[in-house]
Amino acid sequence: MGATFYSIEDLAGILKLHPKTILRFIHEGRIKAQKIGRAWRISQEALKEFSHAELAAPAREVEPVDFNSIGERMRVSAVIEINEQNSEEASRLSNTLMAALNCKDPSWGNSRFDWFYYPEAKKAKYVLYGTPAFIGEIMVMFSRLAGGQGGEP
């Protein structure tokens, strides 16, 4: 009894994948196939091997997460959008932020601040990037500037 072989189109129909995906899997070695003339042929055995590969593959050992150093590895970003009447108001607020950054607490770590003013929309965007401590302190500062209760008085 002869072995059953499938074309790329047959396999695409069986697996409900695009024929180009099947061809890519063949080139990557994920599906074993033989080229006969100009056409690829996939054996029924190769199909079974591919379809059960995830079940047959040994489970990778999960590495534990190191929560002790997460603070050193974590970075946070925030975008603050404020309606401003003109770029001078946006620039004043930007200068205030720059002054705060120039005398920042070393525990804030590396941080970044950019700002953009969009005159057609009369909006200023302030983009912040850094440690959670940095972002938290800047958010408290913005809350205080807005007249809110952003932390301790």
Residue 63 lies in a domain: no
Q: Which domain holds residue 141?
A: 68-145
Q: Specify burial of residue 22 (Cβ count, 10 A radius: 0-12, 13-18, 19+).
A: buried
Task: Name, in order, each residue with C-beta under 8 angstroms of 71's C-beta and a sequence gap of 6 or more.
Answer: 131, 132
Q: Report whether pLDDT(152) > 70.
A: no
Across 110-132, b (16+ Cβ under 10 Å) vs e yields: ebebebebeeeeeebebebbbbe
Taking only the tens place, the pLDDT of each residue in 20-48 is 999 999 999 989 999 988 999 999 888 88
Taking only the tens place, the pLDDT of each residue in 54-75 is 555 555 677 777 777 777 778 8
Residues 76 and 127 in one domain: yes
Residues 139 and 87 in one domain: yes
Residues 116 and 139 in one domain: yes
CATH code (residue 14): 1.10.10
Please, what sign has the CA dihedral across residues 128, 101, 119, 140?
A: positive
* Percent of the chain whose pLDDT exceeds 90: 22
- Structure confidence at residue 150 (pLDDT): 46
Taking only the tens place, the pLDDT of each residue in 92-111 is 888 888 887 788 778 777 88
Residue 93 lies in a domain: yes
Q: How far apart are CA 123 and CA 138, in angstroms?
A: 19
Per the structure, how many domains does the chain have? 2
Residues 81 and 136 in one domain: yes
Residue 150 lies in a domain: no
- Structure confidence at residue 34 (pLDDT): 92
Residue 40 lies in a domain: yes
Q: What are phi and psi of 140, to 5 degrees?
A: -65, -40
Q: Report whether pLDDT(138) > 70.
A: yes
